[in-house]
Amino acid sequence: MTDELQRFRLDGQVAIVGGGSGGIGVRTCAALAGVGAEVAIVGRAAAGLEEARAGVEKSGRSALVIAADMTTREQADQAVEQTMDAFGRVDVVVNAIGGGAGTALYPAELYPDSEWQRILDLNLATALHLSQSAAQAMIAAERGGSILNISSVRGQLGIDAGYSAYVAAKGALDALTRQHATEWAKHRIRVNAISPTFVRTAQAASLLADQSFYESLINRADPDRGWWAHGDPVSRRCRVGQMAVSNCAAIMCIDPRECRHERSAAYRDFLRERRVSH
């Protein structure tokens, strides 16, 4: 997939990755830099921010590290301002902040307001704030742009495991993606979402460590789908999950009208996989 990414370039463009210090975010930063983008890395985990910086700089691109909390609108505005000051433009936004479902498991009839709001802020408000701030910069620049939300299959599927707030947040993120795409199309700003299933990150570690749960996933997984990747070292799918999501993120940030290879087999395969995943 790394070679195929070279068909889709972001040279001269600037990407902001919200949640760039997370498991998916770190790899998305590297994938975007690998196709030529300068990257502003926004997150809260110091170690993850430095890992993401190293991945960007390894590709010879510039990295701007911004320690900030996107649940706060003011900090989202400041992150975009810092990016504009450093690079002079914003072309791509990836909203990869989210998760936390395993930290707030309650029966639907007893779900506490405080935890409900925390999970919605983490999975929905963060994307709203950064998207709004970046969209204002894109509209003012009149160059268009691309916004990509990392959603989840849980946006379309319920799960009997106490996930009410997380499922509601991802469902709302899917709806917000459609609404932003509709409203900002006139400004040539494309808004899409990727909805992966389980990806082996630190947040999913406890669930994947449950052997019965893990085996139930394996039994219903399609071994030929690049979207599924549990990281099993004896499987062909080892490590594909994080990279499939991050590589797809890089590709989806390209305007297909500007891609010389838009009719290539790789692009058709990507579009087919995207339709299946939605």
Q: Tell which residue, 134, 149, 119, has the closest CA to residue 19.
A: 149
Output the pLDDT for position 247: 56
Output the pLDDT for position 104: 83
Mapped onto helix, strand or coil, the DSSP state of residue 41 is strand
Q: What is the DSSP letter of 229?
A: B
The question of whether 170 is a catalytic residue gets the answer: yes
Output the pLDDT for position 88: 98
Tokens, residue 251: 């590709």
Tokens, residue 116: 């409900």
Output the pLDDT for position 239: 36
Q: What pTM does this model have?
A: 0.78
Tokens, residue 126: 């963060």
Mapped onto helix, strand or coil, the DSSP state of residue 127 is helix
Mapped onto helix, strand or coil, the DSSP state of residue 90 is coil
Output the pLDDT for position 215: 67
Tokens, residue 172: 């709302």
Residues paired with 132 in a beta bridge: none
Buried b (16+ CB within 10 A) or exposed e, 54-92: ebbeebebebbbbebbbbeeebbbebbebbbeebeebbb
d(CA 168, CA 194): 16
Q: Are 19 and 95 in contact (CB under 8 A)?
A: yes
Task: Report residue 213: phi and psi, to 5°.
Answer: -65, -45
The full DSSP string for 74-142 is: HHHHHHHHHHHHHHS---EEEE-----GGG----GGG--HHHHHHHHIIIIIHHHHHHHHHHHHHHHHT
Helix H or strand E segment including 64: strand 63-67
2-272 topology per CATH:
Rossmann fold (3.40.50)
Q: Choosing from 170, 246, 267, 277, which is the catalytic residue? A: 170
pLDDT in tens, the chain (278 residues): 456 666 678 999 999 999 999 988 998 999 999 989 999 999 999 999 999 999 999 999 999 999 999 999 999 999 999 999 999 999 999 999 998 777 888 899 999 999 999 999 999 999 999 999 999 999 999 999 999 999 987 777 777 777 899 999 999 999 999 999 999 999 999 999 987 765 555 555 565 666 675 666 666 555 554 433 333 332 333 333 344 455 566 656 666 555 444 445 555 565 555 554 44
CB within 8 A of 183, min separation 6: which ones? none
The question of whether 151 is a catalytic residue gets the answer: yes
| Crossing angle between the packed helical segments 164-184 and 113-120, to the nearest 10 degrees | 40
Q: 10 Å Cβ neighbour count for 158? A: 11
Output the pLDDT for position 16: 97
Output the pLDDT for position 156: 78
The question of whether 267 is a catalytic residue gets the answer: no
The full DSSP string for 146-193 is: EEEEE--GGGT---TTT-HHHHHHHHHHHHHHHHHHHHHGGGTEEEEE
Q: Choosing from 111, 163, 166, 267, which is the catalytic residue? A: 166
d(CA 192, CA 247): 15
Output the pLDDT for position 205: 55
From the number of C-beta atoms within 10 Å of its C-beta (0-12, 13-18, 19+), residue 45 rates as: middle
Q: Where are the domains of the chain?
A: 2-272
Q: Choosing from 21, 151, 152, 277, which is the catalytic residue? A: 151
